Amino acid sequence: MSKLHFTPIERIPAPSYDSFYRDYDKPQRPVVITGATNGWKAMTEWSHEWFKSRYGDVDVQLSREKTHTIRATSMKIAQYIDLILLNKDQGLYMDQFSFNRIPGLTDYIATPYKNPNRHNVALNLWIGPAGTIISLHKDNHFQFDHTDNIFAQICGRKRVVLVSPDQDHLMYPRSKEEGADWHSRVDWENPDFKRFPLFQEVKLQETVLCPGELLFIPGNYWHSLRSLDPSISVSCWWRVHRIAELVLSMMKPTHNIPVDESKITMSDVEEFGGMARFAEALISEELPPDARKLILALLKDDVRSAFNTWRLQQQQAPQINSVAASLRS
């Protein structure tokens, strides 16, 4: 019988910001960081009872599915905490609860390894009983939405499993018709190798994240987290590239990016990884057509010229030609 291959995620004591950026953030290497939450008030004050006593009247939506795309029900935080403390209905999960819903929560943590170049830092709260799980998924919903995550464990433990993006071809993502296509169809805890034979080749990284520890999840990494105890966690998401900020803002019905700042520059392309990587992402079939249309409209003249130069150096593939036609229109 086939078995999956697991290796431990590297663990280090809290590094300086420069060391973290050089060794993990920039090369996109996952790591568990210990000792970086010393002094956070959340570590000494937060508990399930604490949230019940202070914010019990706040309404929350709760998930039940492993993909966490369907909200099963809603209730007051006090009611939900009672379910956790009484060990009832362990499938319900208070996931991705924005800090913006409760003013003052940011006073209890420090945004870890804050980088002035990060775009749209978002803090979210995760509260649940033992047993809640999110299946293997990516935080990046399309190529230009490159979102990194530092995940802080406050109470309880979580088992974490990661899969590097160079193994995408082994991961069997859900289809767009199924929805939540940034999730894998494989249940890594009980994989069906007859349906998903390539998954036998996957190399998984794992750890148990304990209170006070941070996990850096680079953008494009598949990840799954299961609570081993009643748990409280915080995710710190940020978009690495200005391109993502521009595109996602422009896709909203209303946006407030000034006109003179709403164009993709060569500096943005270099930040993304260079013209070759940018162009390959732009012609990818995985990029939603509406996002591609917006990106093409946002290119500055010198970026258009560089893209055309790159295109002419390639093999004139039909897919490239179709995008080039869009540029000329």
pLDDT of residue 242 exceeding 70, the answer is yes
The highest-level CATH class for domain 5-239 is: mainly beta
Q: Which helix (H) or strand (E) holds 97?
A: strand 94-98
pLDDT at 243: 82
Q: What is the pLDDT of residues 110-149, one digit of tens each?
A: 888 766 666 677 899 999 999 999 999 998 776 677 788 9
User: Are β-strands 31-34 and 11-13 bridged in parallel, bridged antiparallel, or unpaired?
Assistant: parallel
User: Are β-strands 71-76 and 94-98 bridged in parallel, bridged antiparallel, or unpaired?
Assistant: unpaired
pLDDT at 3: 85
Query: Worst-scoring range by mean pLDDT, 84-98, 261-275, 306-320?
Result: 306-320
Percent of the chain with pLDDT over 90: 54
* Sequence-separated contacts (24+) of 315-319 with Cβ below 8 Å: 319/283, 319/285
pLDDT of residue 101 exceeding 90, the answer is yes
Rounded CA gap, 248 and 229, in Å?
Answer: 36
pTM of the model: 0.83
Domain boundaries, the chain: 5-239, 242-328
Q: Which helix (H) or strand (E) holds 324?
A: helix 318-328
Mean pLDDT (the chain, rounded):
87
> Taking the alpha carbons of 143, 24, 203, 132 in that order, is the dihedral positive or negative?
negative
pLDDT of residue 269 exceeding 80, the answer is yes
Rounded CA gap, 163 and 48, in Å?
Answer: 31
pLDDT at 44: 97
Contacts of 93 (CB under 8 A, 6+ apart): 62, 63, 64, 68, 126, 128, 132
Rounded CA gap, 106 and 10, in Å?
Answer: 28
Rounded CA gap, 254 and 105, in Å?
Answer: 28
Rounded CA gap, 138 and 219, in Å?
Answer: 8
Measured CA to CA in angstroms, residue 167 lies from 62, 220, 288 at distances of 31, 11, 22
pLDDT at 122: 86
The DSSP code sequence of 104-169 is: TGGGGS--TT--TT-EEEEEEEEEE-TT-EEEEE-S-SSTT--EEEEEEEEES-EEEEEE-GGGGG
pLDDT of residue 320 exceeding 60, the answer is no
* pLDDT confidence band for 322 (50 / 70 / 90): low
Percent of the chain with pLDDT over 70: 88
Helices (H) and strands (E) in the chain, counts: 10, 14
Q: What is the pLDDT of residues 149-166, one digit of tens each?
A: 999 999 999 999 999 999
pLDDT at 259: 47
Q: Which residue from 258, 256, 262, 260 is spatially nearest to 243, judged by alpha carbons?
A: 262
